[in-house]
Amino acid sequence: MKKLISMAAVAALVAGGSYAADVDSSAGADIVAPLQVANATALYFGTVVPSIANADTVIVSATGAKTCGAELTCLTSDHTAAAFNVTGETDRVYTITLPNSVQISNGSENMDVDNFTGSKASGTLTSGADSFTVGGTLDVGANQAAGEYTGTFTVTVEYQ
């Protein structure tokens, strides 16, 4: 009989009683140094003479090599790939996003720069720093108007 009463008491507690349980959890965060990128050198295609009849392109690769289309005359070898310096948290990985295309202008006429290529798609901040270069393609129109063409493009770097 004692056994039956004890079991009934336990059953009553389980059915109608409330149980509370506590547990602790940790909370934390890992704050990293802000990711920063600086432009060290501009993307420059050099001095170009357009064709009167045909459009063509000038390509500056991410390594800095220049290819002048057959319809154009490239007068100078002062072309450069754009160079960027990245700083942030040591040994962190980051990715690079390049634009699709931008326009550069002489104030009244435009040319497109597209097919951007990077020396890498991502990097590691060894000792908190890294660098990369960017090239692109300049689309020169037939009988393109003379002038100094300038513009900007945006490169995005992001921690992974």
How much is the pLDDT for 76? 82
Beta bridge pairs of residue 73: 49
Q: 34 by DSSP, 3-state: which?
A: coil
Q: Evaluate whether residue 45 is within a structural domain.
A: yes
Region 145-160: what's the mean pLDDT?
A: 97
Q: Evaluate whether residue 97 is within a structural domain.
A: yes
How much is the pLDDT for 11? 53
Q: Evaluate whether residue 20 is within a structural domain.
A: no
- Domain carrying residue 154: 33-159
Q: Evaluate whether residue 90 is within a structural domain.
A: yes
Q: Which of 132, 139, 137 is nearest to 87 (CA)?
A: 132
Number of domains in the chain: 1
Could you tell me which residues come within 8 angstroms of residue 90 by beta carbon, excluding any fewer than 6 positions away?
Answer: 125, 126, 127, 128
Sign of CA dihedral 136, 41, 128, 27: negative
Contact 98, 155 (CB under 8 A): yes
Residue 15's pLDDT band (cuts 50, 70, 90): low
Contact 68, 18 (CB under 8 A): no
pTM of the model: 0.83
**Residue 21 structure tokens:** 């349980």
Which CATH number goes with the domain that contains 103?
Answer: 2.60.40
Q: Evaluate whether residue 23 is within a structural domain.
A: no
Residue 155's pLDDT band (cuts 50, 70, 90): very high
Region 97-101: what's the mean pLDDT?
A: 98
How much is the pLDDT for 154? 98
- In this structure, the number of other CB atoms found within 10 A of the CB of residue 136 comes to 27
Q: Which residue has the tokens 């072309």?
A: 79
- In this structure, the number of other CB atoms found within 10 A of the CB of residue 87 comes to 17
- 10's enclosing H/E stretch is helix 2-16
Contact 104, 73 (CB under 8 A): no
HSE on the CB side for 26, CA within 13 Å?
2
